[in-house]
Amino acid sequence: SVFDGIDTVFYEILPLSLEEIFISETEVVGYDVKSPSCTLPNFVSINSKKYATTLIASNSFRSSIDFSVTGAACVDTIASGAFSLARGLTSINLANVSYISREAFLNCSKLATCKWGNRLRFIGNNAFSGTGLTEVTIPESCTTIGMNAFSNNGALNNLILLGDNMKIFKEL
């Protein structure tokens, strides 16, 4: 795989499938810690080839202190621990994300706002444990919520589940 740094974000190009396609995928694997903000583009162009930003890899933003993240409408997956201990993260838009892995936002104590859309299918164990979320509405599209997904959230007043067929607090 190719590892490349563009602006303040570092990417890894995912292997191509057997089919030749114009748009491949890339994952975010880290960023320049000196930067106070990080804008994730929907696509990265390297050597005239266009790559969709579809995954934020494990520990990419782990322990980041004062920063914000915007962009990346193509991101579908947040890997385990991707933002864990990112104490400066206050809000994030996950409108197109379908899979949030275990401990993805673990102990992001200032995370007060999280927006997600109707593509969300899975929230892993401890995914939002120890955050500052005050109200959470899980869309009907979500079918699985892992154990302790929203534990240790003293500010959480409302947890609204819109779906009927959800597996809740299952060991994952």
The pTM of this model reads 0.77
pLDDT band at 150 (very low <50, low <70, confident <90, very high): very high
Of residues 172 and 65, the one with the higher pLDDT is 65
Of residues 149 and 87, the one with the higher pLDDT is 149
Per-residue pLDDT of 56-72, as tens digits, reads 878 877 776 655 666 66
Q: What is the DSSP string of the chain?
A: --EEEETTEEEEEPPP-SS--SEEEEEEEEE-TT-SEEEE-SEEEETTEEEEEEEE-TTTTTT--S-EEEE-TT--EE-TTTTTT-TT--EEEETT--EE-TTTTTT-TT--EEEE-TT--EE-TTTTTT----EEEE-TT--EEETTTT-S-TT--EEEE--SS-EEEE--
